[in-house]
A and B are shown apart, each in its own frame.
Chain A
Amino acid sequence: MDTVVWLIVALPLAGFLALLFFGRRLGEPVAGYVGSATVGLSFVLALVAALEFLGGGEDVHARTVELFEWIPSLGLSASFLWDPLSAMMTLVVTGVGTLIHVYSVGYMHGDPRFGRFFTYLNLFITSMLILVLGANFGILFVGWELVGLSSYLLISFWFEKPTAAAAGKKAFIVNRIGDFGFLIALMLIFAAFGSLDFAYVFENASATLSTGTATAIALLLLVGAAGKSAQLPLHVWLPDAMEGPTPVSALIHAATMVTAGVYMVARAGALFTLSPTAGAVVTTVGAATALFAATIAIGQRDIKRVLAYSTISQLGYMFMGVGAFAFVGGVFHLVTHAFFKALLFLGAGSVIHAIGGEQDMAKMGGLRKKVPVTFATMVVAWIAISGIPPFSGFWSKDEILASVFNRGGGYLLLWAVGIVTAGLTAFYMSRMMFLTFWGEPRWDAGVAPHESPRSMTIPLIALAGLATVGGLINTPWRPTLEHFLEPAFELVEQAHLPAGGTQIVLAIVSIAAGVIGILVAYQRYVVRDTALEEGGRWDTLLEGYHVDDFYGRTLVAPGKAAADALAFTADAKVVDGAVDGLGAVVGHIGRLLTKLQTGLVRNYGLGILAGAVAVILWLLVAGGAL
């Protein structure tokens, strides 16, 4: 079994190396097959390895696979942890990853860097698996940084476009801010425990940490998680990341990488539960992000940017869940969200593909009949994210909201925010669907929409199936996922769900919010056939409340000014001045000394003679003769 665990990582890695060296020669479509096959095999292996936990064998809860000693002086080893939580994440990453690999074979058709694309995708899968399988914070951090790198490479995959290159840089830099907090948290953990090993740290957490230290560590971890998972105030990179190819948006910027923050908080649950303050902060950040991003999503024109803000908003829900210590709820929403959001992105990609690369919803409309498979599958995702039972989004979102509600006190306010956001979510998703698929066709003349090839529609159908039934893995009366994950959270005091009656009332409220959102959107965009809004407050929403401008003025501009000052004043004048000045002084002295070189042999002779006389005089004086 240990071999299987490291093979899960080794297979995509082997695929990455093979594609790195032979990707161009393999070309299209073989490179895509190699990438898909390695990730697919890895998924099968993960499935086999996960059966061990499902079999009900109570003796095996976690398995640590040590590969080699990494930094002996820190007691760090390169080891993987195979427990229900990491198994869950591995299945999502490799499962959704396989579908998106297959989809990409069709989507990237004809791209001149076809092989390179799959090289990067495999690098991403490898990195993400290292992240979720790491058995200590060190390995987790390695994966954390590697996914950042692959995200950067894939966002700026079409680097000929200046906007794509800039978006890649932006994502990388904003993530660095989060990573900085994460690194400090790791140092604090090491200072407190003398170890970064999950098992050791979590077992001794309550005995070792004071509430203050726990709060500090948890909040710094939150900074890291907020960077990776695009939470306020570090959310700005995710909408721009849509410059990357659509499968990348689906895999990395919706389904997997951005959920790394949620995974990390859930994994470090033993640290977060020690500090109610940190939990409250995480929940508040999540709720604020959910509401904030949902309102922005309403005003977007670009179909992918709607989904990007929607992703930020849904990640906010997951943070609400893990912040309220409903770790299973948070991870559950992570899983269902991976299904329906990947589906939405791939569907959007299929739509974009169908009308020749156009992403502006102003130029869509009436596509229902033209791309029937895409339409049908996207309807499933739309209902799932709107929180209508029995589709998957309802179960997970409701579990989170119910857990938040059950905490009482100030959490009731956050619950209300969550309900409002649920309504807004249903509204903006419906707006996107109605503007894209209903109404009169608005696409450019000469565009003939066509359904995507089978390599793209099959993943859509598979994801639609998962988005439909995915929620049933954890219903209130059959909490399979909760039992599955139980061993991973046995050290943690988890939040509880309210009593059955309350749960039903809460569910009705949240379903009502979703239905109202859909009906309002139907009234506005189908019955009254409102066109895409423009101007005034809509522009504020379109620009995401001008957060980018604000950061530009308060952070980027001073940063650039400081860099300019350093480059053109401190470096050019002071540093270069010192070096140039020294050179000039030496030159001047040299020029003065050349006067000695008269070219007359007599002068040199006189010099030698004078020197000899001086030496003799000195010898005489020193010898006491004079």
Chain B
Amino acid sequence: MPLLAQAAGSGITVEPHWYMALAAVLFAIGAAGLLLRRNALVMFMSIELMLNAVNLTFVAVDAGIGSLEGQISVLFVMVVAAAEVTVGLAIIVAVFRKRATASMDELSGLKG
């Protein structure tokens, strides 16, 4: 595992599944944030957290199997996420100006 960093001098080897576990934890935190919080900005940050958790699994697995495809995917995810943030933030700002709130629960106009 030459690419994986080793804690210098500590003698502890960073195993690949540690990354996977970290990603899972990050993803779970993101999902929980998305489902439990009401503030649009916080929910947005949660989504970013989930995306980055996925990115982490991509590069970790890639490094493990010596492939590049995952890393390329990461680049795509980053680009899309950047665009999404731009659009999303603009929407949030527009909604806030109109409704004077950023609480997602109050934005239920499409309720059936």
Contacts and interface: CB of A to CB of B under 8 A. Distances in A.
A615 interface: no
Contacts of A605: 31, 34-35
Interface string A585-605: 000000001111111111001
Contacts of A600: 104-105, 108
B112 A606 contact: no
A605 B109 CA distance: 17
Contact of B112 (A596, A601, A602, A609): A596
A500 B104 CA distance: 117
B98 interface: no
A498 B34 CA distance: 115
Interface string B27-61: 00001001110100001000000000000000000
Contact of B107 (A593, A601, A609): A601
Interface string B66-109: 00000000000000000000000000000000000000110111
A602 B104 contact: yes
Contacts of A598: 108, 111-112
B110 A601 contact: no
A519 B87 CA distance: 112
B104 A597 contact: no
Given A605-B34, A606-B35, A609-B31, A597 B107 contact: no
A597 B112 contact: yes
B35 A602 contact: yes
Given A601-B43, A601-B104, A602-B104, A595 B31 contact: no
Interface residues on B, range: 10 to 19
Given A594-B112, A599-B111, A609 B35 contact: yes
B40 to A, nearest CB: 9
Contacts of B43: 601
Contacts of B105: 600, 602
B51 to A, nearest CB: 14
Contacts of A596: 112
Residue in B104, B105, B112 with the greatest tally of chain A CB atoms within 10 Å: B112
B104 A595 contact: no
A599 B109 contact: yes
A551 B56 CA distance: 92
B47 to A, nearest CB: 9
A595 B108 contact: no
Contacts of B35: 602, 605-606, 609
Contacts of A609: 31, 35
Nearest to B108: A599
B62 to A, nearest CB: 20
Interface string B2-19: 000000000000000000
Interface in A555-607: 593-602, 605-606
A373 B107 CA distance: 98
A595 B112 CA distance: 6
Contacts of A601: 43, 104, 107
A599 B112 CA distance: 7
Interface string A275-309: 00000000000000000000000000000000000
A600 B36 CA distance: 11
A31 B36 CA distance: 90
A597 B111 contact: yes
Nearest to B34: A605
A598 B104 CA distance: 12
A594 B112 CA distance: 5
A163 B1 CA distance: 104
A594 B34 CA distance: 23
A548 B25 CA distance: 94
A437 B66 CA distance: 123
Residue in A594, A596, A602, A609 with the greatest tally of chain B CB atoms within 10 Å: A602
A593 B35 CA distance: 22
A621 to B, nearest CB: 19
A599 B31 CA distance: 19
A597 B31 contact: no
A525 to B, nearest CB: 89
Contacts of B110: 597, 599
B95 to A, nearest CB: 12
A615 to B, nearest CB: 15
Interface of B: 31, 34-36, 38, 43, 104-105, 107-112
Given A600-B108, A601-B104, A602-B104, 7 more contacts: A593-B112, A595-B112, A598-B112, A599-B112, A601-B43, A602-B105, A609-B31
Interface of A: 593-602, 605-606, 609
Of all A-B residue pairs in the complex, the 7 with the closest CB atoms, nearest first, are: A599-B108, A594-B112, A599-B111, A597-B112, A601-B104, A605-B34, A602-B35
9 contacts: A593-B112, A596-B112, A597-B112, A598-B108, A598-B111, A599-B108, A600-B104, A600-B108, A601-B107
